[in-house]
Amino acid sequence: MNNKLRVFVASLVALLGIMLAGCQSEKVCDARGPDEICEIHHRMMQTVVVENEKKPLPSREYLQARSQGFIHSYPFLLPEGCKKCAVWICEDCVRAEEEWKRNHQE
Reported as a single tens digit per residue, the pLDDT across 40-83 is 999 999 999 999 888 888 999 999 999 999 999 999 888 888 89
Give the pLDDT score at 105: 77
Spatial CB neighbours of 84, under 8 Å, sequence gap ≥ 6: 26, 27, 28, 29, 49, 50, 51, 52
User: For residue range 13-43, what is the model confidence (pLDDT) as tens digits?
Assistant: 444 444 444 444 568 999 998 999 999 999 9
CA angle 59, 60, 63 (to 5 degrees): 90
Backbone φ and ψ of 11, nearest 5°: -65, -40
User: Of 30, 24, 69, 20, whose CA–CA distance to 52 is shortest?
Assistant: 30
